[in-house]
């Protein structure tokens, strides 16, 4: 495995962890099916988490992007895309309280990605 591939896989796994924790936080605050003792999500949130993980595993653009929101191809089914948007809107601001390290990593990656996009636009524009 090359260093580039290792980096891509590490980025993929970290991104999957962020999404899973955001869904878990949403489930904990919104659904009765969340099990506080085990941290197990309700079936609907588990399904969304599994779907998001599968999309990430199949993504051919992982080397060039950080998060799905930065991707030029939106591969989520419209219904699942709306569900993940609801989760992101709710959990995003709260991640700093519940998972500060993941939240800061996400912000740092987002800033880096925006900078890269501006540089690319400057070269082509």
Tally of CA atoms within 13 A in the half-sphere of 121 that contains its CB: 6
The reported pLDDT for the residue numbered 65 is 67
Distance, in Å, from the CA atom of 48 to the CA atom of 46, rounded to the nearest integer, reads 5
Every domain of the chain and the residues it spans: 3-124
pLDDT band at residue 109 using 50, 70 and 90 as cut-offs: confident
pLDDT band at residue 70 using 50, 70 and 90 as cut-offs: low
pLDDT 10s digits, 40-66: 999 999 999 999 999 999 888 777 766
């Amino acid at each position: 495995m090359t260093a580039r591939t290792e980096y891509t896989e590490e980025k993929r796994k970290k991104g999957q962890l962020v999404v899973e924790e955001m869904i878990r936080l949403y489930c904990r605050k919104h659904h009765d099916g969340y099990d506080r003792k085990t941290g197990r999500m309700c079936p609907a949130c588990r399904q969304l988490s599994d779907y998001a993980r599968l999309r990430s595993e199949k993504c051919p653009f992982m080397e060039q992007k950080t998060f799905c929101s930065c991707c030029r191809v939106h591969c989520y089914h419209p219904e699942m895309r709306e569900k993940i948007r609801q989760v992101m809107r709710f959990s995003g601001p709260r991640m700093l309280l519940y998972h500060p390290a993941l939240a800061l990593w996400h912000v740092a990656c987002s800033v880096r990605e925006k900078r890269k996009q501006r540089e690319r636009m400057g070269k082509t524009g």
